[in-house]
Amino acid sequence: MPVGGVVALTLKAISGIRIGTASAGISQTIRDDVTVFELAADTQVAAVFTKNKFCAAPVTLAKKHLKESTAKYLLINSGNANAGLGDVGLLSAQQCCQGLAAIANVEAANVLPFSTGVIGEPLPVDKLTAVLQGAVNNVAEDNWPSAAKAIMTTDTCEKGCSRTFELNGTEATITGIAKGSGMIHPNMATMLSYIATDMPIQQELLQKMLNKAADVSFNRITVDGDTSTNDAVVLMATSKVDVPLIDSQDDPRYGLFLSKLKEVCCYLAEAIVRDGEGATKLINIQVEHARSEQDAKEVAYTIAQSPLVKTAFFASNPNWGRILAAVGRANIANLNVDKVSIYLNDVCIVDAGKRAEDYTEEQGQAVMNQEEITVRVCLAQGDSKFSVLTCDLSYDYVKINAEYRS
């Protein structure tokens, strides 16, 4: 169960997006594992992908199709990553695209493929293509919750949210879903996310918006420091709201829409960390007053990825020396340790580079007993800052990943 408990999904349909799911039994038969998104004509599509050099076959093919043609369908399977298979994997991804294209009467290049699951095992193409007709037959605008469940792997719950807001007197909606639990780290994570809006937005601007939103959300989370071969985030704009196209950052609607997109992405990113494999605590690492954003980022991730820090949080152990040591070994130049202050929530544990005079073990324990904790580090070197969301490292994380074939 995620930190904070399961939140019921309330997802609003997006005019111009229809979704169907089906069960191919790729690695389990409890829930559907194949999802088809049908995009209305004139839908603009933007995407960001993993930077893992061993990117999966569907990532390679989706990038290729995006450059070559207009996306009309998304095809997603869980249970198998179709990664680490070379030309065999590319052929499998292409065959799946061709299978959907034949049913939908489009070109294979109009289909963007996505996969998540076990790495290194051949994708059962016959199983997947056999259920495509069923998925296409049940497409509907209100199937977002079904899709949120069908894309899951080790997730313990579905993840999604919607935002409806006014843009110069016009009602606009953004709805998004995501999956991810382990192998989570920026650039981006073992995650998939699909976000759509009914607003008309020019494609190049849509891509810029997605890049900015991903940088403050999906690229600021880490569960275990591992970057997947398969992750992707897709943003779709269907243009179903009859208003002028947003095609410039000077458009007064641009800033508001971007802020709402960031809100959706941040919600989904946090939901992934809350559902980190075996997680019992949500930890917000905030580094401020750094010489540069890169310095703040380096310190934040050094803390967030420290096994000693993460296991201390799991044990609710106020062993703050582990945080201090992580700050000290961060790869930044000219750190003046005599000016560093560290806080657990509002409790100052380190002041001017040493244990705060009024700090007590009882204060630290009271914070460590909580489910949601903020670690704030003040470097006193400048005005830059950076924050990262992470979670603790539990017995269950080791058990889940020891037993998971990847």
Q: Give the residue numbers annotated as catalytic, written as ranges.
A: 190
Distance (Å) of CA 379 to CA 26, 156, 328, 371: 50, 37, 11, 26
Q: In what order do the strands lie in the sheet with 384-391?
A: 354-355, 347-351, 341-344, 372-378, 282-290, 384-391
List, in sequence order, every beta strand (DSSP E) within 84-125: 111-118
Q: Are 386 and 297 in contact (CB under 8 A)?
A: yes
Listed residue (106, 110, 48, 37) closest to 76, CA to CA: 37
Q: Are 83 and 115 in contact (CB under 8 A)?
A: yes
Q: What angle do CA 351, 326, 212 make, to 5 degrees?
A: 100
Q: Are 341 and 291 in contact (CB under 8 A)?
A: no
Residue whose token pair is 């324990």: 365
Which residues, at least 6 apart from 260, have a Cβ–Cβ distance to it below 8 Å?
Answer: 163, 165, 172, 174
**For the chain, first and last CA: distance in Å?**
22
Chain-centre distance of CA 403, in angstroms? Answer: 23
Q: Is 362 helix (H, G, I), strand (E, B) or coil?
A: helix
